[in-house]
Amino acid sequence: MNTQSNPRSVAIVTGASRGIGAAIAERLAKDGHAVVVNYAGNRQEADQVVERIVASGGEAIALQADVSDPAAVQLLFEAAESRFGGVDVLVNNAGIMKLAPLVDSDDALFDSQIAINLKGTFNTLREGARRLRDGGRIVNLSTSVVGLRLESYGVYAATKSAVETLTAILSKELRGRSITVNAVAPGPTATALFLNGKSPELIDRMSKMNPLERLGTPADIANAVAFITGPDGGWINGQVLRANGGMV
């Protein structure tokens, strides 16, 4: 599928009202996709993403859905199909990050991240496997912390490790439909999700953990997703692309 040249290619980007998700939505719209900007609660920010896409000549709508709710995910896909006629690309970006050592991690911290990061991805993958048109693309967002194994990231990294496993298995289960399934695993990226609660000293130290000695930007991650979903990424399948500036 030449997703860039097909003006009717339709992409759902979950958690796309801000940060990396918004950057992905805007980049995919620039590449010619009609984009469903999914959001959980902030309609105003989602509408602003849509406005920027439309102002740049693209096509987009904002649709609310809590990805942890399978019924809401089903309605999200149905609404996308009703508006655009089908779905070709699914980008699972929605996620939360709550940090604490395992000994201090309460049930709420565990359950909320499992519900959104893991169950939410499972819900959209299941629906996407049923509904994506042949030749489509699925991209899940993981994290480079899966490999780095940093303290206090245990539960968060565990959810993303599970997402990487689902990525590899679903890529095999969709055999015969020319649908690729991959993951992009950002390193430290300058978003509110990452920066919140961190001291300037910690941010500076983490920005120097990779050889390029800077934090990633949402555009860096959107570029990686665009490659996988575009025509040049068609032979990439079942892989995890660690977009982290060379961080080991």
R_g (Cα) of the chain, nearest Å: 17
Token readout for 244 is 């982290």
Could you tell me which of 63, 86, 87 has the C-alpha nearest to residue 14?
63
DSSP 96: -
Where in the chain does DSSP place strands (E)? 10-13, 34-39, 59-64, 89-92, 137-141, 180-184, 240-241
> In which residue are the tokens 């555009």 written?
219
Distance CA 105, CA 248 (A): 26
156 labelled catalytic = yes
Q: What string of DSSP letters covers 100-133?
A: --GGG--HHHHHHHIIIIIIHHHHHHHHHHHHPP
CA dihedral (248, 180, 174, 5) in degrees, to 10, reads 170
* Burial of 165 from C-beta contacts in 10 A (0-12 / 13-18 / 19+): exposed
Q: Judge whether 25 and 38 are in contact, CB under 8 Å.
A: no
The single residue of 77, 153, 156, 194 carrying the catalytic annotation is: 156
Known catalytic residues are 156
